[in-house]
Amino acid sequence: MLFCCTIGAQAERKFNERPKLVVGIVVDQMRWDYLSRYYDQFGNDGFKRLIGEGYSCDNCQINYVPTVTAIGHTSAYTGTTPAFHGICGNDFFIGDKPVPCVGDDTVNTVGSDSNKGQSSPKKLLASTIGDQLRMHTDFRSKVIGVSYKDRAAILPAGRSANAAYWLDTKNVCFVTSTYYMEELPEWAKAYNLELKNNKKAQELNRKIGYDPICGTVTTDMAIAALKGEKMGKGDATDMLCISYSQTDVIGHEWGTRGEHTDGVYLQLDKDLGRLLKALDEQVGKGNYLLFLTADHGGAHNFQWMKDHKLSGGAWRIKEDVLGSDLEAYLKDKLGADLSIINGINSYRVFLNHGKIQELGLTVSQVKDVLIDYARQMPHVQFVMDFEKVNTWSVPDVLRSRALLGYHPERSGDLLLVLEAGWYEFWTGGSSPVGTTHGAWNPYDAHIPLLFYGWQVNHGSTSREVHITDIAPTITQMLHIQQPNACIGEPITEVTDSKD
């Protein structure tokens, strides 16, 4: 009887044990193969420490389209997809109105005199890991997001977060919005003063995202939050959400190969080492649970592909898609012009439903005409009507990812799937030597996923898991409820780790 009671007491203690701190890290535009590409150049304190002591899910896939920043950050922390969390892109349309995913003109900037703080999570329709943690602890847990980008700080932290901080590049300082507070805390003001004295950061100004130093100041701000808010030192588990954006900015500008991309990942490795050291000192090694992933990957530059006799190319939106040929086709078939199309965003066609009604047309008519036109376009492999995709003759992988990425009020009307290696190119906006992302293909959808720290054993798996499995894995380990629209499943190789 005594033996049974002892076992029962040990099980109860373990069930109620939690780490002092959860740390989520998203590296923007990080392809999974970068872990092996740079492994021999990494030091021992950053990525190698996470790989060598943690658990690596080597076949983590994004299970929806499009694969873009706002959606990736949101899906990792909510355990669900745009169909349920409603963040359908960095920008999208609601009705016929274009909206930025976190833009909010009902709030004001805190920390500078610019409008860079007019952002909030109000368009997010689902709860995050942090929201669930806050509710479980009667809001005693602190949840904070930090990033260069507003959306990358705000969306991971969730609607009930204590704070989110992002970089105002005009003034080179971290700001937040009145959604969270009326005044920056003293520790944040102190760090902004340090940043004002950072000569290189100030000289780069609006170009700071194009330099590895952006990751360094993001790390510094995260460490300042860790110390200033005494995270991991209270009686409830806290959560710190960090996103590194400089990798994405540099990838868009210079692509997946070359000195700029090499340099940013080697510097990030050093910054991760500093972050881990600070966590060890402030919280204690083994007392925090950490995961690292990406919001999406990135395609190789189309010219680089061509130079090496590989397939790929630039799908020029202004010239090849929304040009005079399409306008003539619409006039001939419908007596309409390009004004019936609000835009093309991440391979999705957003129709102007109001304009279509004005012209006495139906949305179905317009979609049929555009589908016929798109099927004739070079390098367009499939065209899907979101409302009919479940019955169309398309591969299951595309059907599933299209449906999971589709919100009926926010995702547009048609989805275009290009041949592998082809991607959207905006003349005047896209870099000819850079890259982009957004497609279903492995180069955009295969991302790193590392777990480290509290009750995580060393190991790896090649079993397919999804970005939506991160949130239920973390919440399972915390013994709290999953986010309220979660569709993912706990990764049992991590949750069932043995002491």
Catalytic residue positions? 69
For residue 207, the SS3 value is: helix
- Which amino acid type is present at position 11? A
Select from 99, 31, 88, 35 the least CA-distant residue to 64. 88
Distance in angstroms (rounded) separating the CA atoms of residues 143 and 267: 27
Write out the H or E segment, with its range, that includes residue 57.
strand 55-57
- Which amino acid type is present at position 6? T
Determine contact, residues 321/425, Cβ cutoff 8 Å. no
Work out the number of other CB atoms within 10 angstroms of the CB of residue 139: 14
Distance in angstroms (rounded) separating the CA atoms of residues 461 and 76: 19
Determine contact, residues 21/289, Cβ cutoff 8 Å. yes
CA distances from 121 to 126, 148, 159, 170, 209 (A): 10, 16, 6, 22, 23
The reply to whether omega before 66 is within 30° of 0 (cis) is yes
Cα 293–Cα 457–Cα 450 angle in degrees, nearest 5: 10
Q: What is the DSSP letter of 299?
A: P
Determine contact, residues 89/491, Cβ cutoff 8 Å. no
Sign of CA dihedral 361, 388, 417, 98: positive
Task: Return the beta strands (E) in 283-347 as ranges.
Answer: 288-293, 313-316, 341-345
For residue 178, report the phi and psi dihedrals to the nearest 5 degrees: -70, -5
Give first-to-last CA distance, the chain, whole Å: 25
- Which amino acid type is present at position 279? L
